[in-house]
Amino acid sequence: MINVLFICNGDQQTGFGHVSRCLNIASELLRLKANLSIQFQGSYGDFASKAISSAGFVHGNHEPLQQLEGVSLVFVDDYHITETRLNSFKQAGCAIAIIDDFDIFCWPSIDLIINFRFLAEKLYRSNGKHLLGLKYFPVKSSLITLRQSRLEQQCHDKNLCNILVFISGTESGDSGKNIVLALDKIVSNSNIYWLTTINHDVELKHNTLKKIDYVNDMYELYKDVDVVFSGGGLSKYEAGFCIIPNAVISQTAMQQQDTDILAQHNLCFDLGITEHMDQDTLQENISYFLSPKVLNAQRNALKTHYDSQSLQSVASRVLALIDERTK
């Protein structure tokens, strides 16, 4: 019997962020209530499939379950879900929770709406079903300890020994490659970790490139890196939570909207949207971002806005819905 069904995709079209944040919530639900049965359903590439399996969860294909008997909660993280499909879950007696980054879902069948974007509580009007803002950010539990340890560190100028480039778990295009090549002209004697599934043939002259095609826990990378370059999705929030200065080259217009807001409050550095970026401008912007003044200012800002209890806060509210259905 499945108590909780997570519906999300992690393929070439959607990226990995939807799967990642659902996994974080699912794992915290099990920590809070160990007897839950949880399954994932969606379209998954190799990166996402490995992550779901490594976390101990079963995942199925994109076809709807024929039998929803016993499912207490359907948790949706899919921008393309239809009202008709949500209504079918409701008619089967399921509670419905949904992650809605851009305030696009307002259907009466939804019981809980999660929008963890920075300043969501000010940008969007709550109808009583909303969990808004960073205090509900579903961060991976292993990163909480990392944030706490970095909160105790003093900001100071430091050498950039380890740099992480992570555009997406389903990266396509040349964003990552262009950032790596630009970095090789700006810094020297650094380790550049490039998390990518693309087999780009890249050789560096001044730094050491370490390509990684999969990592089970991002903690293993975040704990050692000094800065992060991301593709505009969940990783800019993860890096920020860990108090790691991060620069973002957004992959979509919706990501760019979110990046603009974060950058205005010094919670990331905006490199623009990938389709409008030329290599010379990219190199110039990265060079400015890596200046000690900019890095230290961002570290200080990152210490104040995130909440170390955010994962537990969002999972507790989801669990309350499950408990209501099983009384």
User: Residues 7-19: pLDDT tens digits?
Assistant: 999 987 787 889 9
pLDDT at 170: 60
Question: What is the Cα–Cα distance from 289 to 268, expressed in whole angstroms?
Answer: 10
Residues 6+ apart with CB under 8 A from 246: 227, 228, 229, 230, 235, 236, 239, 240, 268, 269, 298
301: nearest Cα among 246, 226, 243: 243
Give the type of residue at 151: L
pLDDT at 325: 81
Stretches where the chain sits below pLDDT 50 are none
Give the type of residue at 17: G
**DSSP secondary structure letter of residue 138:** -
Residue with tokens 């300043």: 119
142-305, what's its fold? Rossmann fold (3.40.50)
Residue 124 neighbours by CB distance under 10 Å: 17
CATH node for 4-137+308-326: 3.40.50.2000
Query: DSSP 3-state helix, strand, coil percentages of the chain (rounded to 5)?
Result: 40, 20, 40
Q: Which regions of the chain carry the CATH code 3.40.50.2000?
A: 4-137+308-326, 142-305
pLDDT at 273: 94
The two structure tokens encoding residue 146: 């990392």
pLDDT at 214: 81
Q: Say if residue 253 is exposed, middle or buried (CB neighbours under 10 Å; 0-12, 13-18, 19+).
A: exposed
Q: Say if residue 120 is exposed, middle or buried (CB neighbours under 10 Å; 0-12, 13-18, 19+).
A: buried
Residue 216 neighbours by CB distance under 10 Å: 11
pLDDT at 122: 92
C-alpha distances in Å from residue 292, one per residue of 57, 100, 154, 235, 243: 42, 36, 14, 22, 15
Question: What is the Cα–Cα distance from 169 to 58, expressed in whole angstroms?
Answer: 19
Residue with tokens 């209890």: 309
Residue 313 neighbours by CB distance under 10 Å: 15
What strand order describes the sheet that includes 246-250?
208-212, 191-195, 162-166, 227-230, 246-250, 269-273
